[in-house]
Amino acid sequence: MWYFAWILGTLLACSFAVIAALALEHSESEKVTESDER
């Protein structure tokens, strides 16, 4: 059953990377709109 734990960990790491990239992209776009309003 080691393969089940391995695939679960891989999927968890990939989903974490995707969520982190989306959060980074969102925070960057927030900074841009903030500087545009001024």
pLDDT in tens, the chain (38 residues): 999 999 999 999 999 999 999 999 999 888 877 776 65
Structure tokens at 14: 């990939």
Closest alpha carbon to 29 in 1, 11, 21, 6: 21
What is the model's pLDDT at position 35? 72
Structural domain span for residue 2:
1-38
pTM for the full model?
0.69
Q: Given this model, what pLDDT does residue 8 score?
A: 98
Q: How many residues does the chain have?
A: 38
Give the total number of structural domains in the chain: 1
Q: What is the pLDDT of residue 12?
A: 99
